[in-house]
Structure 1
Amino acid sequence: MKFTDTSEKGFQKLIVKELTSNSGYVESISNNFNREFCLNTQQLFSFIEQTQPQKYEILKRKGERAFLVRLDEKLRKLGVIEVLRKRS
């Protein structure tokens, strides 16, 4: 007889497995979370590098920290939705 984990933790694992295996999500590791900026900077920079390689090169030249500081300022001032809508 096969054991089925019906606990909340088991359900969470099932959801994560489904999302990462079949829906293109990437699981975040808590050690990669930057507390100062409240996000996973490794995933952020990986995403930018994959989707906007020219912009990523500019970002690297100017400095990742400078980008994070500016992003943080924009998020605090405008909010997430407005920042995602605009390209400034």
Structure 2
Amino acid sequence: MSFSLLSRASNLHLVEGKLYLLLRGTTALSLVTTLLLFKLLPTVVHLGVLLRWFSPDSSLEIGYIKVDILCSESGKQRITLMDQESHDS
């Protein structure tokens, strides 16, 4: 979606060349970084449990996102992310 809007803005000459390239690169970097962070989240949580930063069954609040960390009987961890703004009424 953002690439389409950016391309349209460039075609209408609302964004000049250098700014277009900067915004396109920033958007691509943001997409890749977000995917990597979500891929690494279970590893970071597991490390946090091993280093006793938080308990195996805990709930963290990071900004407006609630992170629930639950351990199953097999020892595998399940991480649930919830956007609190959309669930609080």
Could you say which TM-score interval applies, normalised by the shorter chain?
under 0.3
TM-score by length of 1: 0.28
Q: TM-score, normalised by structure 2?
A: 0.28
Structure richer in helix, relative to its length? 1
